[in-house]
Amino acid sequence: MPDHQSNQKPVILLNIDSLMPHALEVAVQSGRAPALKFLMENGTYIDNMVSSFPTMSVTIDSSLLTGTYADQHKIPGLNWFDSIEKQFNNYGTGFKETFRLGVRHTAHNMLYRLNNEHLSSNVTTIYEELATRGIPSASINSFVYRGNKLKQLHIPRLLSSLTHFKDGKWTSQTPSIFSLGTFSKLRSWSLPTQVAAGNRKYVSKELRYLIRKNKLPAFTFCIFQDMDTRLHSKSPLDIKGITKIDKEIKKVLNMYSSWNEALAKNIWMVIGDNGHSTTGNKRKEVAIDLRKILKKYRIARIGRPIKKKDQLVFCVNQRMSYIYVLDNNLSLSSIVKLLRQHSSIDIIA
């Protein structure tokens, strides 16, 4: 990569959580996504991109931003077990896990340890790589953000008691331009719709601010997270979320005299970070209860210290789960044999 020059086009990477090709194509063909249609027709459309595994946002983003898989960047999911420290690490997979492990523990993991301790120091993020070459970059709405700039972040006073940070403030390594909910805002007067992140409108406003102020760096990474929760209860073919996000992308393109000018001045990339499966609202029909399948073994309980008698640890990441074997006398084949009897389990690795 050559050194950054002022005449090079800024790269804007828009990550739409859970965007899938069929739903996108329906939205485009029905006229519900004109902005995305414009970008598709004036660029290259690839409909068979394969996500890294497991399909959890922090793992995917870590792979995307470091160019490595979880065996190297060391962020294996939203929920995982540290075999050396003998402790659960959770970045917020759900209310039950967060409550059992402790809100302060989970918040500290997500806000600080993810980037400053858990993300391997043996890999380099694109922000760090660009910074060493004197090239500025921006992260908007991503929880994986490690860069080279030391920045003080803060939590609203009402929520500071839920963290380990004194006065709700902490220092982290970020890109030169960094936006993440109330923790770090590009527009000081803005009010994020969510404490820990921003919805599609907020993300769009932050990006438009950079364009309006002529502050777009060489590389900008934005995440629109709105669709993920919706698609868990709706069908993967639901296009309402795509339509709403398309309206925000349209506002960004409208910052220029024409959409063609937006293309002429920048390099635009739009990706969906992972696929999606319908889970619906009837838990009994879709849930796989590992506790019942492996009930003959002693399973460690979330939120409690690991005991010598514990044989297995489960770290569930929605559609997949890590099973850690603590008992050295326990063979993997005996566990696999029981799991293979359950027809709903697709892959055992």
Distance CA 56, CA 237 (A): 20
Say what the pTM is. 0.90
- Mean pLDDT, the chain, rounded, equals 89
Contact by Cβ (8 Å): 13, 1: no
Q: Among 305, 303, 290, which residue's Cα sits nearest to residue 341? A: 290
Same domain? 258 vs 288: no
Same domain? 289 vs 263: no
Mean pLDDT, range 263-285, rounded to an integer: 83
Mean pLDDT, range 285-299, rounded to an integer: 93
The verdict on residue 278 lying in a domain is no
Same domain? 330 vs 211: no
Q: In the structure, what pLDDT confidence band is assigned to residue 213 with cuts at 50, 70 and 90?
A: very high
Structurally, the chain folds into a number of domains equal to 2
**Domain boundaries, position 142:** 11-75+119-272
Single out the residue in 272, 299, 323 at which a domain terminates: 272
Q: What is the CATH number of the domain that holds 35?
A: 3.40.720.10
Q: In the structure, what pLDDT confidence band is assigned to residue 306 with cuts at 50, 70 and 90?
A: very high
Q: Which residue has the tokens 């102020």?
A: 213
Mean pLDDT, range 11-32, rounded to an integer: 94
Same domain? 210 vs 157: yes
Same domain? 222 vs 316: no
Residue 304's pLDDT is: 86
Instruction: Name the region of 303 (left: φ>0; alpha: ψ -120 to 50; beta: rest).
Output: left
Single out the residue in 272, 301, 322 at which a domain terminates: 272
In the predicted model, is pLDDT for residue 255 greater than 70? yes
Reported as a single tens digit per residue, the pLDDT across 24-73 is 999 999 999 999 999 999 999 999 988 888 888 899 999 999 999 999 99
Which percentage of the chain shows pLDDT scores above 90? 65
Structure tokens at 19: 């965007």
Q: Among 47, 9, 17, which residue's Cα sits nearest to residue 266? A: 9
Residue 210's pLDDT is: 98
Reported as a single tens digit per residue, the pLDDT across 90-99 is 998 766 776 6
Reported as a single tens digit per residue, the pLDDT across 142-195 is 999 999 999 998 877 666 666 777 777 788 999 999 999 888 999 988 777 665
The verdict on residue 111 lying in a domain is no
The DSSP bridge pattern shows strands 11-16 and 219-224 to be parallel
Distance CA 61, CA 97 (A): 22
Helix (H/G/I), strand (E/B), else coil: 80 = strand
